Homo-oligomer: A and B are copies of this chain.
Amino acid sequence: MQNIIDDLNWRYATKKFDPSKKLSDEQVSTLKESIRLSASSYGLQAYKILIVEDPALREKLMEASFGQRPVVDASHLIVFCAYTSVKEEDAKTYMQLISETRGTEMKNLEAFQNGIINSINNKSDEDILAWTSKQTYIALGQLLHTCASIRVDSLPMEGFNPKAYNEILGLDALNLTATLACPVGFRHEEDPAQFNKKVRKSNEDLFDLR
């Protein structure tokens, strides 16, 4: 178990990436699969994940990220996008996926489908977006852990202009909004942040045993 903790201690918010170092195809696949296998509410995965390599697009995104260079310097930029609406139709599509994957008859999924639809219908548009947005944070948490395990550096970012991202990436038309960005790649040997001691609350401050 110690190696997991070593992995997580190795991770830090990388402030300067080495632009000459690229992830291998296998590394990209592992990161994608770890996002794909993330838990989400009802298993709905009400999000889409953009993997951005195009330099011109990333220049524009950097401008919409307060000029943070990791957006262009990292090997890949992962942008988490939450669906701004979830409709009955989405629940039905999901039931079809379950039915195909598990060979379950659709009529045996009716109760589950109705549960999801009831939940959706009880939420305002704002509640839906808050709910789908949160799910992308679970996927981010799982991604960061995977990155650390395979020694890929990362910088989880909330610090960007979501409206500008949506415009640059054409997300409005897809009913999506950008919630998180995460450049991934390899630290620059000159990134001073890598030498900083990790700052964390003590167990006593953070945990409460009942």
- A interface vs B, CB < 8 Å? 1, 4-5, 8-9, 11, 13, 26-27, 30, 32-39, 41, 43, 45, 48-54, 57, 94, 97-98, 101-102, 130, 133-135, 137-146, 149-150, 156, 158, 169, 196-201, 203, 206-210
**Once the chains bind, are A210 and B30 in contact (CB under 8 Å)?**
no
**Once the chains bind, are A37 and B8 in contact (CB under 8 Å)?**
yes
User: Of B36, B140, B169, B199, which is within 8 A of A141 by CB?
Assistant: B140
6 contacts between A and B (CB under 8 A): A38-B144, A50-B209, A50-B210, A53-B210, A94-B199, A134-B134
- Closest Cβ of chain B to A4, distance in Å, is 6
Report the Cα distance A154→B207, complex, angstroms: 19
- List the B side residues contacting A45 at CB < 8 Å: 200-201, 206
Oligomeric state, in number of copies?
2
**Once the chains bind, are B142 and A139 in contact (CB under 8 Å)?**
no
When A and B form their complex, which 9 residue pairs have the shortest distance between CB atoms, in order from nearest? A141-B141, A137-B137, A145-B145, A138-B141, A8-B37, A141-B142, A1-B30, A52-B210, A101-B199
**Once the chains bind, are B145 and A141 in contact (CB under 8 Å)?**
yes
User: Of B34, B51, B141, which is within 8 A of A209 by CB?
Assistant: B51
